Amino acid sequence: LVKPENKAALTGILTYHVVAGKFNAKDIAKMIKDGNGTAEIKTVAGGRLWVMMEGKKVVLKDEAGNKAYVTIADVDQSNGVIHVIDHVLMPKM
């Protein structure tokens, strides 16, 4: 993926992990509650992610059904909030 000819694919994967806006863990928990247990989020790449709870863990599911768990929440940055996950999520390709 790091070869120049794969730049578009790598960009697509990276931007699939980005959403517009600034959402902290409290905001995400409210979205899940308001969505009756699942919230759908549109990514900057134009794809969709679903966020839900499994016990006390926040889980993201990609378009292929793969899951990633939030391991560190609410890492504030100047341009938004980062939530560290334990797996790479993949858009439909």
Q: Which domains are seen in the chain, by residue range? A: 4-85 (2.30.180.10)
Query: 0.85 cut: is pTM over it?
Result: yes
- What is the secondary structure of the chain as a DSSP string? --SGGGHHHHHHHHHTT--SS---HHHHHHHHHHTTTEEEEE-TTS-EEEEEEETTEEEEE-TTS-EEEEEEEEEEETTEEEEEESS------
Q: 33 — phi, psi (to 5°)? A: -65, -45
Q: Is the pLDDT of residue 44 over 90?
A: yes
What pLDDT shows up at residue 81? Answer: 96
pLDDT, mean over the chain? 95
Residue 63 has pLDDT above 80, yes or no: yes
On whether the CB atoms of residues 86 and 57 are closer than 8 A, the answer is no
